[in-house]
Structure 1
Amino acid sequence: MAFQKPSHTFTKIHLKALHTNNFKILFALSFTVFINTLSFAQDIPKKGKSIERSTETVTINADSIIAPELSEKSQDTTLTDSVKPKKELLEHTVKYHATDYTRFNKTEHKLYLHNEASIDYGDMNIKAGTIVIDYTKNTVHAKGITDTINGYTQKPVFTQGSNVVEPDSIIFNTKTKKALIYNSQTEQGEGTVIAKVTKKQNDSVYFLKEAKYTTAEDLDDPEYYFRLRKAKIVPGKKIVTGFTNLYIYDVPTPVALPFGFFPQSEKQTSGIIIPSFGEQNNRGYFLQNGGYYFAISDYVDLAVLGDYYTNGSYGMRLESTYAKRYKFRGNVGFRYENLITSERGFPDYARNTIYNIRWSHSQDSKASPNSRFSASVNLGSSKYYRNSINQINSGSFLNNTLSSSVSYSKTFLGEPSVNFSLTATHSQNTNTETINMTLPTFQGSVGRIYPFVPKTGSKKGIFQNINLQYSVRGENRITTTDEFFFKSEMFDDARAGFQHSIPLSTNFKLFKYFSVSASTNYNEVWTFKTEKETYNAAEGETETETLNGFDAFRTYNFSTSLGTTLYGIFPFEKDGKDRKIKAIRHVMRPSVSYNINPAFDKYYESAEVVNADGLTQGELDAIYETVNLEYSRFQNGIFGSPNKTFSSSMGISVSNNLEAKVRDRDSTAKEPKKVVLLNNLNFSTSYNFAGDSLQWSPVRMSGGTQLFNNKMSVNFGATLDPYALDNNNRKIDKFNIDNGGSLFRLTSANLTTSWSISSKNGKARDKSNDRGIQENVRSGGRDDDMFGVSEDFANQQFSEEGEESDESENGLYSYSIPWSLRIAYAVNYSNSRRENQISSHSLMFSGDVKLSDKWSIGYSSGYDLKNAGFTYTQLRFERDLKSWRMNFSWVPFSDRTSWNFFIGIKSSMLKDLKYEKRRQPDIQL
């Protein structure tokens, strides 16, 4: 870029005289007559006497013929000039502006712009208080304005492309595109470079002298920075420095490097993950969570992490996340640990290998509306979370179950529609180490069919509402333990089968206010394994033999129900009185049902008595009377066995809902406020007409409600038995009230509540996106912090975006302390055999307290009211150090007593600059 003085532009006009050449015109006319005389017309000549060729030689001198001269137009050298035209002086349009004045000095050949001056040229823009353009040196000098009131203001802002530089002053050469920048501040990635002198070599290279690199927000007084004595910057790619060391509040630290490399790529890149170090009492010193990150593509990545302990223990983790917009997203992980306790040769020496596999996959609803694939896998060693010594699993060691599900479903549209799904499930009890799996489960169904519905109009009446469906379910069920998991033995006791169901139902109105429904269901079960029982009289025990082969049984039943809805309003208002409670609304839904289940005793038979030699018929009859030898060959099938006894029962249920209308505290409200008193209050029981005794079943009661503006939820339930117990605590066919007791006998009860509260000036912290909570959920734990959270501080952000500060505009902290509290209470009562005891009674709580704008405390604990002891307790302390963060986690008691201290930089690019100290629990395998 160069600037040209406007007065140096001229327009040159070239004048040339015009004349004629008479000799050349005369020669051209003579030559034309000569050619016409000796030429023939373009037709075929008649045949005649041939003309003999002349042998006379004519000699013509080359210089005797003068070639005709080309016209002046054809001689224009600009049409064939091989020299390219000179490049224009200015490639782009120059736009400049200033608020006070724009002045051009012809003597100095300088253009002066003052106050809010700006220049736009191509992709370059300069804004400053004063700009001076020197046309002789092709330079632009930009600087701020100094006055006695505001000081130095309107500092230059130099923008070229995506690079923005904010210096005190700048000198830019428009011809060489080089620049000298003084006291500049340039954003590079997540950080800022503050340099005294910067030399701009070209658009992609900068050289710096005596610079600072920091991610602090306060650039005038950064709390930390790296001093760069000499550095080279390639914007958007890298910063390469010579000797550099860390300064904290201008105090040098021994953290230094002979040279430094700071990547500045805007895309994710591969790199080393620095491990955490520490010491554990029975395994020595360790390095944890170190490895390498592979940025495979924009859609998938991979982190390979490892742990190593000086006693020989080690661990490995593979974590990968993948996503494709509008298609799917998910993550997969594999964890393995080889743990050694003590030393080889000692009696307490132990070696244990544990592993865990996790996979989560979700499909975008827009990807395929008629099919869906999803996965949630969490399987492995039952003792993995309990014995793992990696800090990332600290919030999951209380998990009692591991579960997995992988499913694919598809719908074929039509009339009727057809649906099918394939699902593989896994359920693992970490206490008993029992594993139940279905590999796979197949489900298919045909949409509801109305054979009697008219082609036009709505469905009305008992016949038009008749509908039927078809569904099939097939399972391959496996039950195994940790010992045989992923081994061939796990398939030895696998059971497979299919269940076909065809329900036929209808519904209609009766007497306008009653709803009636009736249905019958046909069931057919296919199985590939049955059983045969024999009674060994010599051993006095029953022996079971498994038979392979196809077999089936068929059942059917009938049911009908009658229900209605009753509404009642109880007003409390009286004339002339404005009461707080206006009215209470009661909604009651009673229902009566009748069910018939026939007896299919044809599928039952008596076991054969073996080793009966020497036994008389009377002795055999005595065996049949004293030992129940009747069995069904389908009794251990995956879909159960057919009903043996005839059942004709009536079910009774009542559901209730209570709401109140109260006076709104808002005086401008026109309508009363609706308050829910009881979400539901349900009672249910049944009476078996075909039973010979104990015909009434216990009354089941359940209910729930929300209190304190839906901040507290309460759920309760109870079982009431009408029959009495004998002296041996066995139920007898006699009502409890007839036995000298009450109408019902309370056999069990339960109550659970959860309450989330916070201070008026604070909000309950939403932890749904917290990485520790997500880790708990993926591991099969709770979706809150009641049992603690992961302690992997190095891989999570300290503060959430958008978090509001409690600091006021004048810099003073709010006098009230924001806090939040989450409480969960549960109690269970048992009295089925007069034990009259509280089977479990616990209180769990967690919360956060923000002591100041920078200090916060988190806690998770509980108290076992039955056993009088605290449950797993975790205390968390966090300190916001502006660009740094500090965390301290402490488990004060239990066999997992431990603590973890961490301090590091928030920036994801510099997160490996950290210090971490731990005391891990001494876990015995």
Structure 2
Amino acid sequence: MSKLRKINVKTWLPIVAGGYLLLFTFYAQAGGTPATYMRLLTDTIPSSPKTAVPGNADSTRKADTTGRKDSTLHIDSLRISKDSLDAPVKYSAEDSGVLIMETGDFYLYGKSKVDYKNLKVDAQIISFNQKSQTLKAYGALDSTGNPLSKPKFVQDDMETVSDSIFFNLETGKGLVKGTFLKQGEMFVYAERLKKVNAEEAFAWRARITTCNLDTPHFAFRTRKLKVINNKLGVSGSAYPEFEGVPMPIGIPFGIYPLYQGRHSGILAPAFTSSEDFGLGIEGLGYYKVINDYVDVTTKVNLYSYGGWLLNANSKYIQRYKFTGSLNITLQNSKTLNRFGASKEEFSKSRSFMINWTHSRDSRARPGTNFSASVNFGSTKFNESLLNNPYQNYQNQLSSSISYSKDWNGKYNISINANHNQNNNLRLVNLNLPTVNFNVVTFYPFQKEEQIGTGKWYEKIGIGYSGNIQNQLAFYDTAFNFRRLLDTIQWGARHSIPISLQLPSLGPLTLTPGISYEERWYGQSMFAKWNTTTKRIDTTISKGFYTARQAAFSLAANTRIFGTYLFGPKSNIVGIRHEVRPTISFNYTPDMAASYYYDLQVDTTGRKVRASRYQGSLNGSFSEGAFGGVSFGIDNLLEMKVKNKKDTSEPDRKVKLLDGFGFTSSYNFLKDSMRLGTFNLYARSTLFDKINITATALLEPYDTDSMGFAINKLIFDPTKFKFGRLSSGNIAVTTSFQSKTKDGKEAKDKQLPVDPFMTPDEQQRQLQFARANPAEFTDFDIPWSISFTYSLNFTRAVKADYSGFETRTFSTLNFNGDFSLTDKWKVGATGYYDVSGTGLQQLSMFITREMHCWQLSINVTPIGRYRSFSILINPKSGILRDLRINRSRTFSNY
């Protein structure tokens, strides 16, 4: 008929085809489906044919095919064809492969694949011309007329799905029609897309979006678009459309970032409005990548009344060595005096804040560590921040810079610089520096090579711990360098514990101990009642002073178990009670009496005992000798229940009380009030949901009319009266949430944690999530709620020693959300002062899930600054700055 023939791969003809290929292409190597490789010198692309060449093929052409898995021809040395490709080609076809030897055309049919360098092509039909090195790919229709296997083209991070593909493997140029292109997070549809090289492509009549639906929710239409791989896309005039409906607005040109990874660029601002600050823009800045280890982010807030805030944040990291960040903020506040509190129209203030975190990788220098967490600034900084209700009420700041070194686990030293400040009192305390040196317990009498049971004295252990502190304090509202020097204090303490390990006496464990402690002071304080002014005057003397204390003890502890078993019909197997009693005999001589004195505190002549070292860094030793017993009981209560769901599974343990008990003491050497204060505590986790902790101090003695203790025990069993509570606290924390929509248990949704993110950055990220809850909601959970309640009370002596007063604090923190529909969710978070001041802070949100977009409304009706904001923006990080926002802030002051 003709010279064009169909060749089945299961026949012996592939061997003959291999001979033809050898003559025409000098060298060839082929294998069978599903995958074959074309070597460096390949001229044609064999495959596994199962169908004939299309009927419209030239009948004068010859065809040859190979396909048997064992039909491999290998030549050791041949000349290289000039028109050969420069890299292997991996290819396969589900149906068949046909080679036209005269023209060098090769066809693959049925789910064909070609893999060449960084290029991958999948299509229903692929053809390749060896002479021009041109590749063509087409889709097909199934028996019902629906599209089948549209050609897919992948090169580096660029991915397209098209109606047809024309590509030159040698030049890297190509043309695709009716194509969908994916570049990072960006999706582009173009009627025609022309690739001029591996990096650049031009699109005609394109649609740009980040929505991955066939009919996207939004897009930008343009006639001309240039795409630079992994860099950016640039278009001519474009107009947006929503749900396929064009908007009557347009832009003269468009720039669409396609960068992968971090890169320098401008940070778009958000607009706001405030009665106190005026109109403003927030977050305008620039992100700069300095090198692979350091970057800098600079932001500025500008307000129409003249206020501004400048922030510079730098993050640095070197893997396996260290990581950290430095954040510096300068704030110039200018707010309107709306309530006439001042004659001036505006109130002005300047403040600053410095945040520095640094941590060293433990693998950098084993045994040595350096870390820093610095939060230092003006005490008025937090209260002047706009749109940040959490920091507005952050009244405590603290910092720590620490260096530590360990010598083979025997000795260790740490040097710390600490800082804390109270923004309400405007008081700043600095510890510069604090040095701690410790010697781990060693056994001087123990032999290096122990043989048999050692002597009792070989169990004697000796340790040492030393501490040196330096502190200065000042009020930032009345800073004076000379006054600052007057506040400098220093102190040191040395402790030498001696222990002896004794063998257990059955269930009883005995532990004797001896300790010696010495404290050094840099000042001495003497207070005296002034009969003229009717108040206490204090005199401080600088110098070097010492005090010391010794203690001797013998402690014993054991464990007692008890179990109550239920009947076989009960779902409860039993209740187990574990009791852990402890008792210790202690003796502490009175070595502090020499620096205690009587101090008159009121006009009635009432006197109290005061120490010359009261108020110092290390505090003062207690006056009086102690010779008595300390005792306590700790309890654990748990229950074992049957597994109702699966009787083959073991019984389940449920803890009723994780621990409850008390500790106290009795001093035989005191002439009165020998029984000590009882420390009560309890902790439990109910149903694995509710965490409860409670502590209290129970005073066994009664008080006089002014609240001072007297030698009279409070003990009346008939009225269940055992002592009086002087202080206590209880905290309850719980959270509940529904199952997910698929019926599974919901997991806590956490913010993504960067392992190289510093703790301070993680804290700021958490604060941002709390301030913008609408952006961090989980629509798979229909509802969730959590709250924390705390109650504290204490009886404290009044400042003028005229008696005692009870101070009570009770607060409630809550957070929750629920879904109105599958796409709408509302929630709230707040802080309520139960003690009497009422609701201190409340933030509410409502958010709408719109697939590739999100709508969030945040309202703060109660707080230092009341505010609301509406934000609509795409979810994609590329178009994050393409947003519509409206926000306003109002002050309560």
Into which bin does the TM-score normalised by the smaller protein fall? 0.7 to 0.9
Report if the CA contact (8 A) 1:143-1:156 is conserved. Answer: yes
**DSSP-derived class of the 2:383 partner:** helix
The answer to whether 1:332 aligns with 2:331 is: no
Report if the CA contact (8 A) 1:589-1:654 is conserved. Answer: yes
Partner residue of 1:867?
836
- Correspondent of 2:566 among 572, 578, 581: 572
**Counterpart amino acid of residue 684 in structure 2:** T
Report if the CA contact (8 A) 1:604-1:630 is conserved. Answer: no
Alpha-carbon distance change, 292 to 240 in structure 1, aligned in 2, over 3 angstroms: same
The answer to whether 1:355 aligns with 2:352 is: yes
Report if the CA contact (8 A) 1:737-1:743 is conserved. Answer: yes
Report if the CA contact (8 A) 2:392-2:864 is conserved. Answer: no
Q: What CA distance in whole angstroms lies between the structure 2 residues aligned with 1:730 and 1:692?
A: 17
The answer to whether 1:718 aligns with 2:703 is: no
TM-score, normalising length: structure 2 = 0.81
Partner residue of 1:656?
635
Q: What CA distance in whole angstroms lies between the structure 1 residues aligned with 2:424 and 2:479?
A: 15
**Counterpart amino acid of residue 137 in structure 2:** A
The answer to whether 1:769 aligns with 2:751 is: yes
Partner residue of 1:922?
891
Q: Which moved more, 1:294-303 or 1:345-354?
A: 345-354
Q: What CA distance in whole angstroms lies between the structure 2 residues aligned with 1:244 and 1:199?
A: 20
* Cα deviation digits, residues 325-379 of structure 1 (max 9, x gap): 2333333322222111227994453112232222233333333331222222223
Report if the CA contact (8 A) 2:584-2:631 is conserved. Answer: yes
The answer to whether 1:369 aligns with 2:366 is: yes
The answer to whether 1:437 aligns with 2:416 is: no
Partner residue of 1:684?
663
Q: Which moved more, 1:481-490 or 1:547-556?
A: 481-490
* Pairwise CA distance, 1:201: 1.4
* Pairwise CA distance, 1:450: 0.8
- Correspondent of 2:420 among 414, 427, 431: 427
* Pairwise CA distance, 1:92: 4.6
**Counterpart amino acid of residue 859 in structure 2:** W
Report if the CA contact (8 A) 2:159-2:183 is conserved. Answer: no
Q: What CA distance in whole angstroms lies between the structure 2 residues aligned with 1:226 and 1:428?
A: 53
Alignment of 1:96-495 (within 5 A): 97-104=92-99, 110-133=105-128, 139-173=134-168, 176-218=171-213, 220-253=214-247, 256-342=250-336, 346-347=343-344, 349-389=346-386, 391=387, 393-413=388-408, 417-454=410-447, 455-456=449-450, 462-483=456-477, 489-495=483-489
Q: What CA distance in whole angstroms lies between the structure 2 residues aligned with 1:898 and 1:168?
A: 52
The answer to whether 1:789 aligns with 2:789 is: no
Partner residue of 1:618?
none
Q: What CA distance in whole angstroms lies between the structure 2 residues aligned with 1:727 and 1:121?
A: 95
Report if the CA contact (8 A) 1:723-1:744 is conserved. Answer: no
* Pairwise CA distance, 1:828: 3.8
Q: Which moved more, 1:509-518 or 1:596-605?
A: 596-605
Q: What CA distance in whole angstroms lies between the structure 2 residues aligned with 1:529 and 1:505?
A: 33
- What's the Cα RMSD here? 3.9
The answer to whether 1:840 aligns with 2:809 is: yes
- Correspondent of 1:879 among 841, 848, 851: 848
Alignment of 1:522-533 (within 5 A): 522-531=516-525
* Pairwise CA distance, 1:883: 1.7
Q: What CA distance in whole angstroms lies between the structure 2 residues aligned with 1:592 and 1:96?
A: 81
Q: Which moved more, 1:664-673 or 1:451-460?
A: 451-460
Partner residue of 2:8?
none
Extract unaligned runs of 5+ from structure 1.
Answer: 12-83, 609-620, 807-816
**DSSP-derived class of the 1:277 partner:** strand
* Pairwise CA distance, 1:7: 11
* Pairwise CA distance, 1:6: 6.3
Partner residue of 1:639?
618
Alignment of 1:698-737 (within 5 A): 698-708=677-687, 710-737=688-715
* Pairwise CA distance, 1:652: 1.7
Report if the CA contact (8 A) 1:336-1:355 is conserved. Answer: yes
Report if the CA contact (8 A) 2:186-2:208 is conserved. Answer: yes
Alpha-carbon distance change, 852 to 361 in structure 1, aligned in 2, over 3 angstroms: farther
Report if the CA contact (8 A) 1:273-1:293 is conserved. Answer: yes
**DSSP-derived class of the 1:463 partner:** helix
* Cα deviation digits, residues 618-673 of structure 1 (max 9, x gap): xxx9x999697997654443223354432323212111111122222233335322
**Counterpart amino acid of residue 453 in structure 1:** Q
Q: Which moved more, 1:682-691 or 1:118-127?
A: 118-127
Report if the CA contact (8 A) 1:378-1:779 is conserved. Answer: no
Alignment of 1:527-542 (within 5 A): 527-531=521-525
Alpha-carbon distance change, 673 to 586 in structure 1, aligned in 2, over 3 angstroms: same
* Pairwise CA distance, 1:260: 2.6
* Pairwise CA distance, 1:266: 2.2
**Counterpart amino acid of residue 694 in structure 2:** F
Extract unaligned runs of 5+ from structure 2.
Answer: 1-19, 27-78, 798-802
* Pairwise CA distance, 1:178: 2.5
* Pairwise CA distance, 1:783: 11
Partner residue of 1:501?
495
Report if the CA contact (8 A) 1:97-1:117 is conserved. Answer: yes
Partner residue of 1:822?
786
* Pairwise CA distance, 1:446: 1.3
* Pairwise CA distance, 1:702: 0.6
**Counterpart amino acid of residue 867 in structure 2:** S
**DSSP-derived class of the 1:873 partner:** strand
Report if the CA contact (8 A) 1:375-1:405 is conserved. Answer: yes
* Pairwise CA distance, 1:304: 0.6
**Counterpart amino acid of residue 398 in structure 2:** S
Q: What CA distance in whole angstroms lies between the structure 2 residues aligned with 1:267 and 1:260?
A: 21
Aligned residues: 807
* Pairwise CA distance, 1:196: 0.9
Q: What CA distance in whole angstroms lies between the structure 2 residues aligned with 1:155 and 1:591?
A: 78
* Pairwise CA distance, 1:466: 1.2
Alignment of 1:845-856 (within 5 A): 845-856=814-825
**DSSP-derived class of the 2:484 partner:** helix
* Pairwise CA distance, 1:254: 5.6
Report if the CA contact (8 A) 1:507-1:515 is conserved. Answer: no
- Correspondent of 1:588 among 574, 579, 585: 579
Q: Which moved more, 1:676-685 or 1:547-556?
A: 547-556
Q: What CA distance in whole angstroms lies between the structure 2 residues aligned with 1:907 and 1:581?
A: 53
* Pairwise CA distance, 1:271: 0.8
Q: What CA distance in whole angstroms lies between the structure 2 residues aligned with 1:861 and 1:549?
A: 51
Alpha-carbon distance change, 631 to 95 in structure 1, aligned in 2, over 3 angstroms: closer
Partner residue of 2:882?
913
- Report the identity percentage: 29
Q: What CA distance in whole angstroms lies between the structure 1 residues aligned with 2:324 and 2:759?
A: 14
**Counterpart amino acid of residue 691 in structure 1:** K
**DSSP-derived class of the 1:856 partner:** strand
Q: What CA distance in whole angstroms lies between the structure 1 residues aligned with 2:458 and 2:160?
A: 78
**DSSP-derived class of the 2:162 partner:** coil
**Counterpart amino acid of residue 876 in structure 1:** F
* Pairwise CA distance, 1:104: 4.6
Alpha-carbon distance change, 605 to 168 in structure 1, aligned in 2, over 3 angstroms: closer
Alpha-carbon distance change, 531 to 840 in structure 1, aligned in 2, over 3 angstroms: closer
